[in-house]
Amino acid sequence: RLTNGQGVDVIYDPVGGELFDQAVRGLAWNGRLLVVGFASGTIPQMAANLVLLKGAAVLGVFWGAFAQRQPEDNAANFRQLFAWHSGGKLKPLVSQTYALGEAGAAIERLGQRQAVGKLVVLAR
């Protein structure tokens, strides 16, 4: 409904699991599905015909391997991200800040999946 039946151009999926098939079906023509992880604990299986019918691309996004294998590209990406942030184009949601002595509480909050947006630990 939000795309007037056209589908979405890019889907970022760090969860996997049962919604993966719906994500593929929700892609627009020439859409891209970024497979980032499987936080649900379930690695989905994909019907290749859906990718064919959508003219879509499914891309694995493994930052650690990318940074190791393509360090120059990784550095360029970070320069671009920092430029976007400095220019106000990226505005990450920082829901809470913690003093360095409270870092354990921040980690606990992450572990309990209670964090919304970013948690920032300040070393002051």
At 43-61, the pLDDT tens digits run: 999 889 999 999 999 999 9
Residue 47 lies in a domain: yes
Tens-place pLDDT, residues 57-82: 999 999 999 999 999 999 999 999 99
Tally of domains in the chain: 2
Cβ count near 27 (within 10 Å):
24
CATH code assigned at 46: 3.40.50.720
Residue 66 lies in a domain: no
Question: Does residue 99 lie within any of the structural domains?
Answer: yes
Domain membership of residue 15 (yes or no) is: yes
- Partners of 38 in beta bridges: none
Residue 84 lies in a domain: no
Name the residue range of residue 54's domain: 8-60
